[in-house]
Amino acid sequence: MAVKIKLQRLGKIRTPQYRVVIADSRTRRNGKEIEVIGRYQPKQEPSLIDIDSERAQYWLSVGAQPTEPVLALLKVTGDWQKYKGLPGAEGTLKTAEPKPSKLELFNKALEEANNGPSIEAITEKKKKAKEEAEAKAAKEAEEKAAAEKAAAAEGEADAEAESNE
């Protein structure tokens, strides 16, 4: 049985995604496969090429013939050079930059808004309760200041009375 390493098409119109499969050479493009060894998504930037190197090496060693597009992918990943014993087995595969997490983006947006990250949700009830707590704290601070003034005034009056005696 002649075995080929092919691309099996998936995805919608104009958004192709492929599986790298091992299949009999006589089967149709999207026919039954023997094994799935990878995937290829050309629309991503840079293109996603994910091939199981160990399985690709095995199938190449037992005589599976890659199609032209798969051969190009194997050269990019370095599997073809490794199989043939050529230099450059590391391949020329480009990797995408890791995306920042949504939490980091959210915290960054909050910092830009000059509020800093806050854990609690802002609702009307919590806002009202927070305003009441601030008003109460301000009132207590005023009372404390008035009490300290009165105590200071009493202390001065006592000091004057003692000095007059």
Place of tokens 């919590």: 126
pLDDT tens column, 58-97 = 999 999 999 999 999 999 988 898 888 888 767 677 777 7
Order of all β-strands in the sheet with 3-10: 48-51, 35-41, 17-24, 3-10, 65-66
Helix and strand element counts for the chain (H, E): 5, 5
Asked whether the predicted pLDDT for residue 163 surpasses 70, the reply is no
Asked whether the predicted pLDDT for residue 116 surpasses 70, the reply is no
The CATH architecture that domain 3-84 belongs to is 2-Layer Sandwich (3.30)
CA dihedral 40, 42, 46, 49 (to 10 degrees): 10
Q: What is the spatial distance between Cα 114 and Cα 58, in angstroms, rounded to a whole number?
A: 58
